[in-house]
Protein backbone atom coordinates (compact mmCIF):
# COMPACT_ATOMS: atom_id res chain seq x y z
CA UNK A 1 0.00 0.00 0.00
CA UNK A 2 1.21 3.51 -0.80
CA UNK A 3 -0.06 7.03 -1.39
CA UNK A 4 -0.28 7.42 -5.16
CA UNK A 5 -1.17 10.38 -7.37
CA UNK A 6 -2.60 10.06 -10.89
CA UNK A 7 -2.89 12.96 -13.32
CA UNK A 8 -3.79 13.25 -16.99
CA UNK A 9 -1.74 14.90 -19.72
CA UNK A 10 -2.57 14.79 -23.43
CA UNK A 11 -5.25 12.10 -23.06
CA UNK A 12 -2.98 9.77 -21.09
CA UNK A 13 -2.53 9.14 -17.40
CA UNK A 14 0.61 9.26 -15.29
CA UNK A 15 0.75 7.59 -11.87
CA UNK A 16 3.43 8.41 -9.31
CA UNK A 17 4.12 7.28 -5.79
CA UNK A 18 4.19 10.02 -3.14
CA UNK A 19 4.64 7.96 0.03
CA UNK A 20 5.31 4.20 0.43
CA UNK A 21 4.51 1.64 3.11
CA UNK A 22 0.91 1.76 4.37
CA UNK A 23 0.44 5.46 3.59
CA UNK A 24 -2.46 6.94 1.68
CA UNK A 25 -5.41 5.21 3.30
CA UNK A 26 -8.73 7.13 3.28
CA UNK A 27 -7.09 9.78 1.07
CA UNK A 28 -8.90 13.06 0.44
CA UNK A 29 -7.75 15.20 -2.50
CA UNK A 30 -8.34 18.86 -3.26
CA UNK A 31 -6.87 21.00 -6.06
CA UNK A 32 -6.29 24.71 -5.49
CA UNK A 33 -7.55 26.06 -8.80
CA UNK A 34 -6.91 29.64 -7.69
CA UNK A 35 -3.18 29.07 -7.17
CA UNK A 36 -1.82 27.13 -10.12
CA UNK A 37 -3.94 23.97 -9.76
CA UNK A 38 -1.83 22.74 -6.85
CA UNK A 39 -2.98 19.31 -5.59
CA UNK A 40 -3.08 18.60 -1.86
CA UNK A 41 -3.88 15.31 -0.12
CA UNK A 42 -4.79 14.35 3.44
CA UNK A 43 -4.49 10.66 4.31
CA UNK A 44 -3.87 8.07 7.02
CA UNK A 45 -0.60 6.22 7.67
CA UNK A 46 -1.71 2.89 9.14
CA UNK A 47 1.80 1.89 10.23
CA UNK A 48 2.24 4.89 12.51
CA UNK A 49 -1.48 5.73 13.02
CA UNK A 50 -0.92 9.31 11.89
CA UNK A 51 -2.76 11.93 9.88
CA UNK A 52 -0.60 13.08 6.97
CA UNK A 53 -0.78 16.06 4.64
CA UNK A 54 0.94 16.21 1.25
CA UNK A 55 1.18 19.25 -1.02
CA UNK A 56 2.70 19.51 -4.49
CA UNK A 57 5.57 22.02 -4.41
CA UNK A 58 7.29 21.23 -7.76
CA UNK A 59 10.78 21.21 -6.20
CA UNK A 60 12.43 21.34 -2.80
CA UNK A 61 10.03 18.90 -1.17
CA UNK A 62 10.69 15.83 0.97
CA UNK A 63 8.67 13.11 -0.79
CA UNK A 64 7.36 12.04 -4.19
CA UNK A 65 10.09 11.99 -6.83
CA UNK A 66 9.63 13.84 -10.12
CA UNK A 67 9.62 12.01 -13.47
CA UNK A 68 13.41 11.78 -13.63
CA UNK A 69 13.72 10.76 -9.95
CA UNK A 70 16.19 13.60 -9.36
CA UNK A 71 14.28 15.65 -6.80
CA UNK A 72 11.24 15.52 -4.56
CA UNK A 73 8.22 17.48 -5.82
CA UNK A 74 5.88 17.00 -2.84
CA UNK A 75 6.06 18.20 0.76
CA UNK A 76 4.73 15.55 3.15
CA UNK A 77 4.13 16.26 6.84
CA UNK A 78 2.70 14.39 9.80
CA UNK A 79 -0.08 16.46 11.34
CA UNK A 80 -1.12 14.39 14.35
CA UNK A 81 -1.21 10.92 15.87
CA UNK A 82 -4.73 9.49 15.63
CA UNK A 83 -4.45 6.66 18.12
CA UNK A 84 -6.04 3.30 17.45
CA UNK A 85 -9.47 2.74 15.96
CA UNK A 86 -11.16 0.23 13.72
CA UNK A 87 -11.57 1.04 10.03
CA UNK A 88 -12.98 3.02 8.35
CA UNK A 89 -11.28 6.25 9.29
CA UNK A 90 -12.88 9.57 8.51
CA UNK A 91 -10.65 12.15 6.77
CA UNK A 92 -11.78 15.12 4.70
CA UNK A 93 -9.68 17.91 3.16
CA UNK A 94 -11.02 21.21 1.85
CA UNK A 95 -9.68 24.70 1.24
CA UNK A 96 -11.13 27.64 3.14
CA UNK A 97 -12.17 30.92 1.53
CA UNK A 98 -8.54 32.12 1.71
CA UNK A 99 -7.28 28.87 0.12
CA UNK A 100 -5.70 27.48 3.29
CA UNK A 101 -6.14 23.74 3.91
CA UNK A 102 -8.62 22.54 6.50
CA UNK A 103 -8.70 18.88 7.51
CA UNK A 104 -11.57 17.35 9.46
CA UNK A 105 -10.90 13.87 10.78
CA UNK A 106 -11.75 11.13 13.22
CA UNK A 107 -9.36 10.73 16.15
CA UNK A 108 -9.69 7.46 18.03
CA UNK A 109 -13.17 5.95 17.86
CA UNK A 110 -15.37 8.90 18.71
CA UNK A 111 -13.63 12.28 18.50
CA UNK A 112 -13.98 14.65 15.56
CA UNK A 113 -11.21 17.18 15.13
CA UNK A 114 -10.18 19.92 12.73
CA UNK A 115 -6.61 20.83 11.75
CA UNK A 116 -5.48 24.07 10.13
CA UNK A 117 -2.16 25.87 9.60
CA UNK A 118 -1.62 28.53 12.25
CA UNK A 119 -1.23 31.29 9.65
CA UNK A 120 -4.76 30.52 8.46
CA UNK A 121 -6.19 31.49 11.84
CA UNK A 122 -3.89 34.34 12.83
CA UNK A 123 -1.86 32.39 15.39
CA UNK A 124 1.91 32.20 15.74
CA UNK A 125 2.10 28.89 17.60
CA UNK A 126 0.09 25.70 17.15
CA UNK A 127 -0.21 22.37 18.92
CA UNK A 128 0.34 19.88 16.09
CA UNK A 129 1.90 19.43 12.67
CA UNK A 130 5.52 19.97 11.64
CA UNK A 131 7.74 22.21 13.71
CA UNK A 132 8.89 25.50 12.21
CA UNK A 133 11.34 27.64 14.19
CA UNK A 134 10.86 25.32 17.21
CA UNK A 135 7.07 25.70 17.27
CA UNK A 136 4.25 23.60 15.86
CA UNK A 137 2.83 25.07 12.67
CA UNK A 138 -0.71 23.63 12.75
CA UNK A 139 -3.58 23.88 15.23
CA UNK A 140 -5.63 20.73 15.95
CA UNK A 141 -8.86 21.17 17.93
CA UNK A 142 -11.77 18.99 19.02
CA UNK A 143 -15.09 19.73 17.34
CA UNK A 144 -17.11 16.93 18.95
CA UNK A 145 -16.35 14.18 21.46
CA UNK A 146 -19.17 11.75 20.72
CA UNK A 147 -20.57 8.88 22.72
CA UNK A 148 -20.00 5.31 21.58
CA UNK A 149 -18.11 4.17 18.51
CA UNK A 150 -17.71 5.20 14.90
CA UNK A 151 -18.31 8.89 15.52
CA UNK A 152 -16.78 10.49 12.44
CA UNK A 153 -16.78 7.57 10.03
CA UNK A 154 -17.14 8.60 6.36
CA UNK A 155 -16.62 12.25 7.31
CA UNK A 156 -17.01 14.98 4.70
CA UNK A 157 -17.01 18.74 5.03
CA UNK A 158 -17.37 21.89 2.97
CA UNK A 159 -16.48 25.53 3.52
CA UNK A 160 -18.80 28.29 2.32
CA UNK A 161 -17.63 31.45 0.59
CA UNK A 162 -18.10 33.27 3.90
CA UNK A 163 -15.71 30.85 5.61
CA UNK A 164 -18.26 28.82 7.58
CA UNK A 165 -17.82 25.06 7.77
CA UNK A 166 -20.37 22.24 7.67
CA UNK A 167 -19.33 18.69 8.59
CA UNK A 168 -21.31 15.53 7.76
CA UNK A 169 -20.43 12.15 9.26
CA UNK A 170 -21.78 8.80 10.41
CA UNK A 171 -22.35 8.31 14.13
CA UNK A 172 -23.23 5.11 15.97
CA UNK A 173 -24.13 4.42 19.59
CA UNK A 174 -23.87 0.75 20.67
CA UNK A 175 -27.18 -1.18 20.41
CA UNK A 176 -28.79 1.63 18.41
CA UNK A 177 -28.92 2.27 14.65
CA UNK A 178 -26.28 4.63 13.33
CA UNK A 179 -27.25 7.93 11.76
CA UNK A 180 -26.08 10.77 9.60
CA UNK A 181 -24.99 13.65 11.78
CA UNK A 182 -24.26 17.26 10.89
CA UNK A 183 -22.07 19.80 12.69
CA UNK A 184 -22.19 23.32 11.36
CA UNK A 185 -20.35 26.50 12.19
CA UNK A 186 -22.58 29.35 13.24
CA UNK A 187 -20.11 32.21 13.61
CA UNK A 188 -16.90 33.10 11.84
CA UNK A 189 -14.54 32.18 14.63
CA UNK A 190 -11.79 29.60 14.33
CA UNK A 191 -12.99 26.92 16.72
CA UNK A 192 -16.46 26.26 15.33
CA UNK A 193 -19.40 26.84 17.62
CA UNK A 194 -21.46 23.97 16.34
CA UNK A 195 -24.75 22.22 16.81
CA UNK A 196 -25.09 18.56 15.91
CA UNK A 197 -28.26 17.10 14.47
Which stretches in the chain have pLDDT values below 70?
Answer: 85-88, 147-149, 174, 188-197
Distances (CA, A) of 112 to 12, 14, 65, 73, 157: 39, 35, 33, 31, 12
Residue 21 confidence (pLDDT): 79
144, 157 contact by CB (below 8 A): no
53, 63 contact by CB (below 8 A): no
Q: What is the pTM of this model?
A: 0.89
Residue 180 confidence (pLDDT): 86
Domain boundaries, the chain: 26-53+80-191
Residue 62 confidence (pLDDT): 96
Which residues partner with 6 through β-bridges? 15
Give 123's DSSP letter.
-
Residue 60 confidence (pLDDT): 95
Amino acid sequence: DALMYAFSTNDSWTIREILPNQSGQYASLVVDTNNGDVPQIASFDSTNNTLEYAKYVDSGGNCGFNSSATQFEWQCDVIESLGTAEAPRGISLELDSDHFPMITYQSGENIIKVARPVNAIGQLIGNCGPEESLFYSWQCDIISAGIGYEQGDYISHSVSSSGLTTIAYYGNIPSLPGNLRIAYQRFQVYLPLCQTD
